[in-house]
């Protein structure tokens, strides 16, 4: 259970809202030490306060570390800050992301690029910066947020789906490369979750199309349920898991 993660240092990106925020609460309850990253510092402070109220953590156990995943030249310094504070990183939960809804032809190449910059290169940059300390300790866990869209295509989501597929491909290679260093790589693929992501991702044109589809969807998970399942996956070091309102289906 996630309780077995007590004392672990877990760095969560995208911790200022949604799934990342609720995973912080779940892991704080389990007694993990946390690094909370995203761009909005005040939201990270809010999440930290809540962790202190509801979790088994003290002030020093939760480090707020603002970070822009797109500013890859700041990632090495961010890793240094974490190592200075906690001296190790047990788990990197690379979760930050955003969505875009729009038909392929009406989506500009700039939007396609931006999605890849964040989802693929942002994540790869932070993982590359984090790995040396894990390799040195011969211990670590890279836990990456993909999506059901990392496995399946759907209309009006080509940049998001394409970028998540690419992310999965990188992780599948990385997992094999890192076995020799005792570093695990997990990829989590949730179905739709109630968070800001879908709400703010609609373009004017496709919003109507998706708005109707989503509003009928009774199968969306709450962010807290999703976070609970992520905690179970982390504790059990599952290589890959689809998570949905039904229990985890572990593929590996």
Catalytically active residues, by annotation = 160
186 CB neighbour count, 10 Å cutoff: 24
Query: Using alpha carbons only, how large is the chain's radius of gyration in Å?
Result: 17
Site string for ligand NDP, 125-164 (x = CB under 6 A): --------------------x-x-----------------
C-alpha to C-alpha distance for 116 and 105, rounded to whole angstroms: 17
Among 52, 111, 118, 232, binds ligand NDP (CB under 6 A): 118
Among 14, 55, 102, 231, binds ligand NDP (CB under 6 A): 14
Does the protein bind ligand NDP through residue 95 (CB under 6 A)? yes
Q: By CB under 6 A, which span of 25-33, 50-58, 185-193, 202-210 interacts with ligand NDP? A: 185-193
Q: By CB under 6 A, which span of 9-17, 26-34, 166-174, 179-187 interacts with ligand NDP? A: 9-17
Between 5 and 221, CB nearer to ligand NDP: 221
Token pair recorded at residue 217: 């969807």
Does the protein bind ligand NDP through residue 70 (CB under 6 A)? yes
Pairing of β 240-243 and β 249-250: antiparallel
Among 115, 193, 227, 234, binds ligand NDP (CB under 6 A): 193
Between 137 and 148, CB nearer to ligand NDP: 148
Give the SS3 label for residue 151: coil
Side-chain-facing half-sphere of 47: CA atoms under 13 Å: 32
Q: By CB under 6 A, which span of 26-34, 35-43, 78-86, 102-110 interacts with ligand NDP? A: 35-43
List, in order, residues 6 or more apart from 193 with CB less than 8 Å away: 18, 19, 220, 221, 222, 223, 226
Between 74 and 139, CB nearer to ligand NDP: 74
Please give the distance of CA 39 from its chain centroid, rounded to a whole number: 14
Which residue reads 């993990």 in tokens?
32
Length of the chain: 252
Helices within the chain (DSSP H only): 18-29, 41-54, 75-86, 109-116, 123-137, 158-178, 196-201, 204-215, 223-236
Q: By CB under 6 A, which span of 38-46, 78-86, 167-175, 176-184 interacts with ligand NDP? A: 38-46
Among 63, 91, 198, 238, binds ligand NDP (CB under 6 A): 198
Residues that bind ligand NDP (rule: CB under 6 A) add up to a total of 30
Backbone angles phi, psi at 242, to 5 degrees: -85, 130
Interface contacts to ligand NDP, rule CB under 6 A: 13-20, 38-40, 43, 67-70, 95-98, 118, 145, 147, 190, 192-193, 195-198
């Amino acid at each position: 259970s996630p309780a077995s993660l007590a004392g672990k240092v877990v760095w969560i990106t995208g911790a200022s809202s949604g799934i990342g925020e609720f995973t912080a609460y779940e892991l704080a309850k389990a007694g993990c030490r946390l690094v909370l990253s995203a761009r909005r510092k005040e939201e990270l402070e809010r999440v930290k306060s809540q962790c202190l109220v509801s979790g088994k953590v003290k002030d020093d156990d939760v480090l707020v570390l603002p970070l822009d995943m797109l500013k890859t030249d700041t990632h090495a310094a961010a890793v240094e800050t974490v190592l200075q504070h906690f001296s190790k990183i047990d788990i990197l939960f690379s979760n930050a992301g955003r969505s875009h809804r729009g038909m392929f032809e009406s989506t500009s190449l700039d939007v396609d690029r931006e999605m890849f910059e964040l989802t693929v290169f942002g994540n790869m940059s932070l993982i590359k910066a984090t790995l040396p300390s894990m390799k040195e300790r011969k211990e670590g866990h890279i836990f990456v947020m993909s999506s059901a869209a990392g496995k399946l295509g759907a209309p009006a989501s080509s940049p998001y789906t394409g970028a998540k597929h690419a992310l999965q491909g990188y992780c599948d290679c990385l997992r094999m490369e890192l076995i020799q260093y005792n570093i695990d790589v997990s990829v989590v693929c949730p179905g739709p979750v109630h968070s800001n992501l879908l709400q703010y991702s609609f373009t004017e044109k496709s919003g109507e199309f998706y708005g109707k589809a989503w509003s009928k969807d009774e199968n969306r998970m709450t962010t807290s349920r999703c976070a609970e399942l992520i905690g179970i996956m982390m504790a059990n070091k599952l290589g890959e898991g689809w998570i949905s309102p039904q229990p985890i289906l572990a593929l590996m």
